[in-house]
Chains A and B, each alone.
Chain A
């Protein structure tokens, strides 16, 4: 199975700031990586797919990059409503696997 490792597990940032979350795959997943946002008690929402393509309706403050085994999610112009847990997921091969999540807190 492909293991996905996210870092950091938690982070805190100020309103208006920018954060970057890293996701590492245990083997090459090409560009088949997605990012999801999950708020407490809610279902995840797709933010980015194929490493860097923004899902329709997702604001451009979210951006993704990377390739092969190392990927990033950057969130700019942070607002209180960006507080959430963010997950990466590989869909290069079954079983689909997720990172353990990164909890983002906005100060």
Chain B
């Protein structure tokens, strides 16, 4: 059974940092592109960042480029998102998602972790 459990969310002040983690199991982690998608309260879905199966590439939305860093540890089946210089508009539920590769959609989403940026 596929499981993806996010952790690390919480309340942080503007300008602060937070590190999200996603512990995955039930599938061959290194085979999958992994990504983060967020959803601000009451709003729609926004792609944040993706990383290749071997960590061979990383991509970021313009809104987070230079502030967020995605990484993965295939030996531990974990995905991470280091978030620096956080702003109020980063407040959202952050979902860990997986995708088999080019031509495939986001086939499983974790339950999400809430990040609140507020003073």
Contact = CB atoms under 8 A, between A and B. Distances in A.
Nearest to B4: A43
Contacts of A36: 45, 106
A34 interface: yes
Nearest to B45: A98
A7 B66 CA distance: 34
A89 B110 CA distance: 18
Contact of B61 (A43, A45, A89, A95): A95
Contact of B106 (A89, A95, A100): A89
Interface in A12-47: 32, 34, 36, 42-46
Interface string B20-48: 00000000000000010000000011110
A45 B109 contact: yes
Contacts, number: 55
| Residue among B47, B59, B61, B105 with the highest chain A CB neighbour number at 10 A | B105
Nearest to B108: A46
A89 B44 contact: no
Contacts of A62: none
Contact size range, B: 20 to 34
Interface string B50-78: 10000000010110000000000000000
Interface string A79-105: 000000001010100111111110000
B105 A91 contact: yes
Contact of B47 (A42, A45, A96): A96
B52 to A, nearest CB: 12
Interface of B: 35, 44-47, 50, 59, 61-62, 95, 99, 103-112
Interface of A: 32, 34, 36, 42-46, 49-50, 55, 87, 89, 91, 94-101
The 8 A-B pairs at the shortest CB distance, nearest first, are namely A34-B105, A49-B105, A43-B109, A96-B47, A98-B45, A100-B44, A101-B44, A46-B107
